[in-house]
Amino acid sequence: MERTLAILKPDCVNKNLIGKVVDKIVDSGFKIVGIKMLRLSQESAKGFYVVHRDRPFYDDLVNFMTSGFCVPIALEKENAVADFRKLIGATDPVEAEEGTIRKLFASSKQENIVHGSDSAENALIEINHFFSRDELLG
């Protein structure tokens, strides 16, 4: 089994879409092995998105991710990373395939409802950013 990290972003929480997005995730065969609601600090958001620190959107991303509560979710499934990225769709909801989470619920490239790990290696790092071993099933 492979694990991946989802983060329901502040726009998802503010639009009261947590239940709809979680239903779509679970209905797609993912098992939730950890979940919590929190508000990221600037330090935590900067650390999480450090790979983007030299990109022009970095400050906006950090500010957006600290603007409200978010919901990190550790997920498990065979091919979890690839399957979750397919489920959420392209970063820009205009380019996302029909039926994907971003096509259904996102309003823009920045406010795109959900984060998904881009590799199995990064998924482990990202899950460990939000969850201790005691907070995860199995």
Any idea which residues carry the catalytic annotation?
115
* Cα–Cα distance measured from residue 21 to residue 64, given in angstroms and rounded to the nearest whole number: 19
Count of Cβ atoms closer than 10 Å to residue 19 Cβ: 8
Closest by CA position to 87, among listed 10, 30, 11: 30
Contact 119, 87 (CB under 8 A): no
Contact 61, 95 (CB under 8 A): no
Residues 6+ apart with CB under 8 A from 73: 5, 6, 7, 8, 22, 25, 32, 34, 35
Residue with tokens 């990202």: 126
